[in-house]
Amino acid sequence: MCNKIKVIVNDLKKAQGTEVAFENIVVSEETKEEIKKAKLDGHGIIAKDKEGKLVQILSGHSYDEKAVKAIVTKLLAE
Number of domains in the chain: 1
Is the pLDDT at 1 greater than 70? The verdict is: no
Look up the pTM and report it.
0.79
How far is it, in rounded angstroms, from Cα 3 to Cα 37?
24
- Range list of β-strands (E), the chain: 44-48, 54-59
For residue range 29-60, what is the model confidence (pLDDT) as tens digits? 888 888 888 888 778 889 999 899 999 998 88
How far is it, in rounded angstroms, from Cα 48 to Cα 73?
12
Q: 37 lies in which domain range?
A: 3-77
Residue 34: the pLDDT is 87
